Amino acid sequence: QGYTAHFLKENAAKFYTPQKGDASSIPTIESNSELERLILTSELPVALIFFSPQCPYCVHLMPTTEHMAHELKKSLSFYKIDAGTHQELVEKYNIEGIPTILIFKEGKVAEIINHIESKTDLRNRLKAVVEPPEHTGSSAPKQPLPVKASAKATPRKQGPGAKVTSNRSNNT
């Protein structure tokens, strides 16, 4: 276990201390079946935030995502999922770093937002998804992004562009 992981584990409460009854406006996904039901039945596009409570950058970004969830509530449904707890979904959706936001439209991944630099950057990228620019000359519809089969993965690093690596051996 590296120094960063050890430090975050030992000092997690300094960064994030969830309390029973927290007033988070972004609901947490608790299971794969719950996620599947939401993305297939939602009338609005779904923004799914992969995060970790031990990731200082994720915790730092959460108030901004809370604000964006409130600002865009009529055009985008926000949910969050703990990448450390739901490793099968990290692998399934090819999450390579946290925080990462997946935007689902009509049950499929339509956009991936990562390497978030600021509140303005996040706002602009989310609005570009829910309020697409006028016709750009291409008549071809955007293809859904690829999704891998399920496998166990463990988040190794957090922060902008951090990688999430798999525990699987390459001997398969």
Full pLDDT tens readout for the chain, 172 residues: 455 555 555 554 444 444 444 456 799 999 999 999 999 999 999 999 999 989 988 888 888 889 899 889 999 999 999 999 999 999 999 999 999 999 999 889 999 999 888 888 888 999 888 886 665 555 444 555 555 544 444 444 455 555 554 444 444 4
If DSSP codes are grouped into helix, strand and coil, which group holds residue 32? helix
Beta-carbon count within 10 A of 168 CB: 11
- pTM greater than 0.85: no
Q: Is residue 18 within 8 Å of residue 75, measured between CB atoms?
A: no
Phi, psi of 28 (to 5 degrees): -100, 135
